[in-house]
Amino acid sequence: MPHRPKRVAVTSPQTRLAHLRGRARGRWRVPRLDPDDAERAAVLYRKQRGQGLLALVAGMAALAGLPLVFAAWPALDEVRLWSIPLSWLMLAVLPYPTLAALAFWQLHRAERIERR
């Protein structure tokens, strides 16, 4: 008998997810971890928590700090760079590269923690 490949339904990821959700409503099982995995997970959890807190504090300081700077130094509205008020540039442009840099720093650190 010739070998016939198994037929596979090809659907969109979201349809697949929806079907999975419909089917996967089985019984809930008590989560288990191998002792080795549990140990590694505990170490990763502690390190990621430390790094995450650091990044979170840095992000919050940057985000909440900028409005405080604007409130404390209204004179920034009068300083102009290429005839645009400096405070406008600090709000419309500055946050995005800063956030992107923070994102890549956090990504780098989080991946380094997981390196084996």
* Residues engaged in binding other proteins (CB under 8 A): 10-15, 17-18, 20-22, 25, 28, 30-33, 37-38, 40-42, 44-45, 48-49, 52, 55-56, 59, 63-64, 67-68, 70-71, 74, 76-77, 80, 83-85, 87-88, 90-93, 95-97, 99-100, 102-104, 106-107, 110-111, 114, 116
Cβ of residue 62: shortest distance to other proteins, in angstroms? 9
- Cα separation of 85 and 87, whole Å? 5
Q: Which is nearer to other proteins, 6 or 111 (CB)?
A: 111
Length of the chain: 116
- Compute the least distance from the CB of residue 46 to other proteins, in Å: 9
Alpha carbon distance 87, 69 (integer Å): 10
SS3 assignment, position 67: helix
Furthest C-alpha separation in the chain: 85
Closest distance of CB 2 from other proteins, Å? 24
Using alpha carbons only, what angle is made at residue 103 by residues 101 and 106, rounded to the nearest 5 degrees?
110
Strand partners for 52: none
Residue 2 or residue 12: which is nearer to other proteins going by CB? 12
